Chain A
Amino acid sequence: MKFTQIWAESFRAMLANPMRTMLTMLGIIIGIASVVLMLAVGDGIKAFINKQLAVLGSNLVLVQADSRKAVGARLKTGTVQTMTLDDAAAINRLPSVSGAAPMLTTFSQISFGNDNTNNQVQGTTPVAFRIRNLRLAKGIALSDEDVATAARVAVLGKKVAEQLFYKADPINQRIRIDNQSFQVIGVLDNEGQSFDAGDIGEVVMVPISTARVTLVRTPTPRSVQYIIAQSKTTEGLNEMVADISDLIRDRHRIRADDQDDFRVVNFGEFAKSGEAIATGLSIALGFVGAISLVVGGIGIMNIMLVSVTERTREIGIRMAIGARPADVLWQFLIEAVSICLVSGIIGITLSAALAAAITSTGKFDLTIGVKAVMIATIFSCAIGVFFGFYPARRASKLQPVECLRHE
């Protein structure tokens, strides 16, 4: 018998007992919907984490002076400031590096009118804006000229601007940082945790040259506290770390058997572990969904076995008029797969509707991916084949004489 015929018959069989078919399908519908939704939740969490991590900027490392054994006693990290503007410039020139920014930071009192706050002030260069993914809500970023002229300009974090100016426009206003006058030229749009300064919204950024002159005392005119560097690609991150180590060891004239006088902190690792957590969560949630699918599949097997018993006489009649065992096998198998496939489509539709409802609340973004839909479809067919095979094979093994005797 032709397959199109068998499909048509299987749909007729499904419609012959709509209530039972519906109840059977329910298990698979719930299973498929939960798998799709769980995968979407996993993806949503991953996207959420990535969004959070993007605040940091991706593929970043921090290079800072490390304690060095000076006369036998190990000093606190950062106490010795051996990193310099020239180290930063050299790192910036490495082919694996997309940008490197020197940093000088301090906590200062920021005041405007009668209001004041205490915040971290970061002295840096325009490169930092690019590699740290900083966007401006208002105004402009620091420029190379600002750095060259040690201009007294500042870019405020979002929260600092809100605290000092409430709803007024801070651009071109003059604020005081440690009692020095600065002109506000921009306000950052970013929010969330940064890796070196807490909430990026509570940071004030000034040219590194200005910071050195007005806010931070440095041991030498060119030393910096740390350098942030970004690799060109995620894959190239480790390579860049090695390049930077080699470069700085060379520049600091460290002998082959001596320890580094600096360390490289890899923030890419954080991003990676965040991703790993999200993936793990995705798999765990998908697994929960898969369990309900298996339960649904057992339901299908159950009903198909009942159906084979109920339709024993029909099987006998079909065999008498020429159905081969393979015809009977295919008929029941395709019936099981049809039930699963239709359930799968309903399940996917249901999960898409639920995802849309959840997304519309604005709390969490849920998108049903093509991948999830494909996994669900393939899975539902596989469930049909797997759980439909045993009943179908049993039907095909029946003896026509016994079937015809069956009431």
Chain B
Amino acid sequence: MTTPSSNTLVKLTGVRKSYFSGKVETPVLHGIDFTMQPGDFVAIMGQSGSGKSTLMNILGCLDTPTSGEHQLDGHTVNKLSRAELAGLRNRTLGFVFQSFNLLKRMSVLDNVALPLLYANVPRAKARERARAQLAKVGLTDYANRQPNQLSGGQQQRVAIARALVADPPLILADEPTGNLDTRTSTDIMNALTELNRDRGQSIILVTHEPDIAAYAKRLVRLKDGLVLYDGPVREGLAQLQRDTQDNAAQETAQGAPA
């Protein structure tokens, strides 16, 4: 690659997204610019309706922008076919979802091995690598269980193992602690933080909880389809807290009897 941004992992330029129902256009993203270097750990926050799910889908190559450019790992995503998108997801992205999204009928081991099978890795080799990945999340003993025999925290660790098994440059975690209790949430977030710190794993985390966002290095706040804040996580969260207090004060003032 000869472009100066060759080192850039993700680059969004003026990304807009609208949904159409019939002729009615509902804009969700109004022009997002976002750049991410390898090794970064970004938390995306925003209230419901802010467009963070839509942004997540675009970042995950599950959806394409209405306009603007999306580059991922040197590929211009806008120009790819569905099959090419699938291949790109397979090679460059690992997903961790709020509801774990493990396949029920398969053993834990086969779930972890699945991304490798789609990458045409032979089954025996894929299972071997999956087993090694399960060992890293401490679930070796659960390899032959069905996912629903595991606790929520264990299932999410299986999902993390699945996301990591093909060694993708970017992990996308969409509310990964949304269905977990506080202690398990802490475990999962520690695991993700370690990955970023020790292996330089790039991570994008979508959450609405400031406590969870605090694990990241950088914060992106969305509001009404625009970036409200993009910077270090500490200042970002402080600003968020001030905004929340201001809103609360405003509401109190409005709600007070005249």
Q: Which A residues form the contact surface with B (CB < 8 A)?
A: 1-2, 4-5, 12-13, 16, 313-314, 317-327, 399-401, 404
Known contacts A2-B120, A5-B117, A321 near B162 by CB under 8 Å: yes
| Residue in B62, B97, B123 whose Cβ sees the most chain A Cβ within 10 Å | B62
A324 touches B83 (CB 8 A): yes
Identify whether the interface residues of A are mostly helix, strand, loop, or mixed: helix
A321 touches B115 (CB 8 A): yes
B87 at the interface (CB under 8 A from A): yes
Task: Known pairs A2-B123, A324-B86; list 8 more (Cβ under 8 Å).
Answer: A5-B123, A313-B101, A317-B102, A319-B86, A321-B90, A321-B162, A323-B86, A324-B82
Contacts of B102 in A (CB 8 A): 317
Contacts of B115 in A (CB 8 A): 321-322
Report the Cα distance A5→B110, complex, angstroms. Answer: 11
Contacts of A318 in B (CB 8 A): 103, 114, 118
B57 at the interface (CB under 8 A from A): yes
List 16 contacting pairs A-B, 8 Å CB cutoff, sorted by A: A1-B118, A2-B123, A13-B105, A319-B86, A319-B89, A320-B89, A321-B89, A321-B115, A321-B162, A322-B87, A322-B90, A322-B115, A324-B118, A326-B83, A399-B63, A401-B62
Which residues of chain B (86-134) have a CB below 8 Å from chain A?
86-87, 89-91, 95, 97, 101-106, 114-115, 117-120, 122-123
Contacts of B118 in A (CB 8 A): 1, 318, 321-324, 327
A404 touches B82 (CB 8 A): no
A321 touches B62 (CB 8 A): no
Q: Which residue of A lies closest to B105 (CB)?
A: A16
Report the Cα distance A181→B202, complex, angstroms. Answer: 117
Known contacts A400-B62, A401-B57, A401-B63, A325 near B86 by CB under 8 Å: yes
User: How far apart are A65's CB and chain B's nearest CB, in angstroms?
Assistant: 83
A317 touches B57 (CB 8 A): no
B60 at the interface (CB under 8 A from A): yes
A324 touches B87 (CB 8 A): yes
Report the Cα distance A322→B162, complex, angstroms. Answer: 12
Report the Cα distance A326→B85, complex, angstroms. Answer: 12
Report the Cα distance A69→B117, complex, angstroms. Answer: 91
Report the Cα distance A399→B114, complex, angstroms. Answer: 20
Report the Cα distance A16→B119, complex, angstroms. Answer: 25
| Residue in B115, B118, B166 whose Cβ sees the most chain A Cβ within 10 Å | B118
A404 touches B101 (CB 8 A): yes
A322 touches B119 (CB 8 A): yes
Report the Cα distance A355→B87, complex, angstroms. Answer: 52
Contacts of A400 in B (CB 8 A): 62-63
